[in-house]
Amino acid sequence: MVDFTLSDEQLALRELAHDFSANEIRKVAAEYDKDGTWPQDIIDKSHEVGLMNLHAPERFGGAGLSFLEECIVGEELAWGCSGIATSMGANGLASAPVILGGSEEVQEEFFGELVAEPKLASFCLTEPGAGSDVSSMRTRAEKKGDKYVLNGSKCFITNGTYADWYTVYAKTDPDAGHRGMSAFLVRRDDTIVIDKKEDKMGQRASNTATVTFNDTEVDAKYLIGEENKGFKLAMMTLDRTRPGVAAMATGIARAALEHATEYSKERVQFGVPIAMHQAIQFMIADMATKVHLSRLATWHSAVLLDQGNRNTIESSHAKRFASDSAMEVATDAVQIYGGYGFIKEYPVEKLMRDAKIMQLYEGTSQIQRLVIARETLLPRRAEAPATA
């Protein structure tokens, strides 16, 4: 039996996240968006109340929440501001490979620091010439004795300017394509240079930077997993983090739906609130359906992980549908507001800008379609199809 009824503990967790989002994030979201201000004060508060590092294992002092519970929190935080939520949640992406492939010693060191203080970590995969085609990366890691030496640049790195740790993918066998990639946990030092902070269309409270490694020495113990097995590790990581991105997209869409619904009841045209016009009602109905189905797909993909099952196609379904839906719902919200929706004084303009990135990062909507097509056309015969 499929049952998404939340436990009392999960309901309390959602309430905590919602209250934090309403009181600490949403009230200042427009201000942070305007100037692209770094939300350090909110990060500090979120760490204090236990809304940071939800993925950190309990044995290292973390909350050890399930994937479903992380998605519940992520939706609420993105409902307040997805840019600030991204800044708060990026540690999850950076640390997923550490959970999958890091030694017990390295995990204890890494998570111990994240839990003790509001420190940040960044996931470094994308390069100027290697986006969806990660096998084209040029960053190199050369083994020298008991160390690796890293050289290369990574772009579009969330929290890159402020990170204390970086999870870096580099070529250890440059001629082997994606089979020559390895992953490293890199502590920040003077050889790491922040070359550029991006001035973005949306999610402006999230720091996005170019990070360059210049003869950066990394102890061999910080190799995550096996040498030349980094591509598989990256794909396993994204299977685990895409539900969280889908949850954030759902939060954006839900916020847009709520604003549009409220506005439609207040805005009077032709003598009645525009909510009385069937054209608006149908738009609201379609928006509500997309939010509802985005959440269901997200929760399904997360629960499969919690059950120990493979969720590759389900996470791509959720990420693709929820991110596309967020863009569609936010665009429709602007339409319902009419000319006012195009003005920064009103909230839906920001939501439309924020929604766009959801279709781009952690695998574009087109990449998700490639994954879905591959999994549909060439299913793994050893596994029964996981359907709702």
Active site residues: 362
Per residue, the 3-state secondary structure of 39-98, as one string, reads CHHHHHHHHHHCCCCCCCCHHHCCCCCCHHHHHHHHHHHHHHCHHHHHHHHHHHHHHHHH
Strand bridging mode 181-187 / 208-219: unpaired
Residue type, 62: G
> Rounded to whole angstroms, how far apart are CA atoms 69 and 26?
21
> Rounded to whole angstroms, how far apart are CA atoms 104 and 147?
19
Cα→Cα distances 19→30, 54, 229, 355, Å? 18, 17, 42, 22
What SS3 class is residue 253? helix
Of all residues in the chain, what percent are helix, strand and coil, respectively (each to 5)? 55, 15, 25
Other beta carbons less than 10 A from residue 114's beta carbon: 25
